[in-house]
């Protein structure tokens, strides 16, 4: 860190979530907000102390000690001994120093994974699951979450409050589900991490740092699942591989002005080769199971997109994978993406017919794709579709890309 002003926000992002999850696990899910308050008060203490007394030699250890003391004082003062905490304290003494608050790396990781399963409980909405993951497990502020969802603080605060209340009333435990429940709950966890990554990768926010952080946090939490023996299963490895492949192209997707660079125009030298290799490694690990998930197929599609050469083999494989994906789990967006592969394998005329059957009339990418497919067939129809895409586009960056396409076509005789 270059300065004290940068150090505290950096530590807040990395350590707030750790303190919050460990204290929430200790006190129970009904006390999540208390855990958040204690963690926030810890950083407030640092902000008040460090400018005058200097940054301690080990800032993280200082934060942990302050958090432990604040938690012990709160627990002792408010007698949260009745349930879970009481069982961790000897009958001989109930002095505050007897309360063990374990902020070891292992307990932090275990607590974060257990919290991940807790907030992905089926009784709360997917949007709330992602919001809680961002707040509790990623250390995002309410402003950042509102930015990520293109929403406002009031809406986000209400959403998170309702979700926490639901977890309280359902008495959801911060623990790993038993063997009979872990599979459906793991599915929900993976869906949340998948959507969290997409919030960053396909974000409509103009905040580049935020977009990067969303993706990195989804990858960090996915890797925690891989490191845990009970959750290190093929689907998890496949999802992580998918994230690696997409993240490898992150730096090449936008120029210095924040404008989107289309895949075919990206500078391949900016692709992160180490992440591509990591993706290949985890995709290979994912192949060891007998069950095929959508993450396996999407990761395989992602792999073929790390090969820039426009070969028949590449697009035939991508088309085959999209066919599998649509059989396994149909979605209009996957069907739309498939039509581009169809154009590469069977030609644009057939692809246009396939695309127009989808009738995704409120989706800007539908009209963008049609505009692209019509460019060499009917310039007027191409312009018409790009103009519809422009009207539907929700971000300045998307509108800039579409406008360039329209301007190029206007120069066409």
158-214 tens-digit pLDDT = 999 999 999 999 999 999 888 777 888 899 999 999 988 988 888 766 666 667 888
Residue 66: HSE in the Cβ half-sphere, 13 Å Cα cutoff:
23
The C-alpha atoms of residue 17 and residue 371 are separated, in whole angstroms, by 45
Distance in angstroms (rounded) separating the CA atoms of residues 318 and 342: 9
pLDDT tens for 207-233 read: 666 678 889 999 999 999 999 988 999
**Sign of CA pseudo-dihedral 395, 401, 403, 406:** negative
**Mean pLDDT of the 397-411 span:** 89
State the pLDDT at residue 260: 79
Which residues have C-beta within 8 Å of that of residue 378, sequence separation ≥ 6?
none
Among candidate residues 71, 130, 61, 123, the one with its CA nearest the CA of residue 96: 71
Mean pLDDT for 352-373 is: 96
| Helices 234-247 and 294-304, packing angle to 10 deg | 30
Query: Residue 351 in contact with residue 342, Cβ under 8 Å?
Result: yes
Question: Where do runs of H (alpha helix) occur along 173-272?
Answer: 182-201, 208-227, 234-247
**CA 14 to CA 184: how far, in whole Å?**
29
Domain boundaries along the sequence of the chain: 1-102, 104-209, 233-308, 309-356, 360-413
pLDDT digits (tens, 9 = 90+) for 282-334: 999 999 878 899 999 999 999 999 999 999 999 999 999 999 999 999 999 99
Token digits of residue 178: 């038993």
> Given the structure tokens 């030609």, which residue do they identify?
347
Query: Is 9 within 8 Å of 134 (Cβ atoms)?
Result: no
High-pLDDT (> 90) share of the chain, %: 67
- Beta-bridged to residue 254, according to DSSP, are 260
In three-state secondary structure terms, 254 is: strand
CA nearest neighbour of 236 among 207, 193, 195: 193
DSSP code string of 335-387: HHHHHHHHHHHH-HHHHHHHHHHH--TT-HHHHHHHHHHHTTT-HHHHHHHHH
């Amino acid at each position: 860190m270059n300065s004290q002003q940068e150090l505290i926000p950096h530590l807040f992002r990395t350590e707030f979530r750790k303190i919050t999850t460990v204290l929430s696990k200790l006190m129970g899910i009904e006390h999540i907000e208390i855990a958040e308050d204690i963690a926030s008060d810890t950083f407030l203490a640092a902000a008040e102390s460090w400018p005058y007394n200097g940054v301690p030699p080990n800032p993280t250890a200082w934060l942990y000690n302050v958090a432990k003391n604040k938690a012990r004082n709160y627990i002792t003062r408010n007698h949260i001994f009745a349930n879970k905490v009481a069982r961790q304290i000897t009958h001989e003494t109930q002095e505050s120093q007897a309360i063990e608050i374990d902020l070891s790396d292992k307990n932090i990781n275990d607590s974060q994974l257990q919290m991940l399963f807790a907030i992905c409980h089926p009784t709360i909405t997917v949007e709330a699951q992602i919001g809680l993951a961002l707040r509790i497990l990623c250390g995002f502020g309410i402003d950042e979450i509102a930015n990520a969802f293109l929403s406002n603080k009031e809406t986000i605060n209400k959403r998170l409050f309702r979700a926490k209340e639901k977890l309280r009333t359902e008495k959801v435990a911060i623990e790993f589900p038993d063997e009979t429940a872990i599979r459906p709950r793991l599915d929900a966890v993976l869906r949340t991490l998948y959507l969290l990554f997409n919030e960053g990768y396909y974000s409509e926010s103009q905040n580049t740092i935020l977009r990067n952080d969303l993706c990195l946090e989804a990858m960090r939490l996915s890797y925690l699942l891989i490191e845990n023996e009970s959750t290190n299963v093929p689907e998890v490895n496949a999802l992580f591989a998918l994230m690696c492949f997409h993240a490898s192209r992150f730096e090449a997707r936008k120029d210095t002005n924040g404008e989107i660079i289309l895949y075919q125009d990206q500078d391949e030298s900016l692709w992160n080769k180490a992440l591509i290799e990591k993706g290949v490694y985890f995709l290979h690990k994912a192949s060891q199971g007998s069950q095929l998930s959508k993450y396996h197929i999407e990761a395989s599609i992602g792999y073929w997109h790390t090969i820039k050469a426009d070969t028949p083999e590449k697009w035939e494989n991508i088309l085959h994978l999209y066919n599998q994906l649509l059989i396994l789990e149909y979605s209009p967006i996957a069907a739309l993406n498939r039509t581009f592969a169809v154009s590469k394998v069977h030609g644009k005329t057939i692809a246009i017919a396939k695309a127009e059957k989808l009738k995704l009339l409120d989706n800007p990418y539908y009209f963008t794709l049609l505009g692209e497919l019509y460019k060499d067939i009917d310039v007027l129809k191409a312009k018409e579709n790009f103009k519809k895409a422009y009207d539907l586009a929700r971000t300045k960056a998307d509108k800039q890309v579409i406008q360039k396409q329209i301007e190029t076509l206007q120069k066409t005789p």
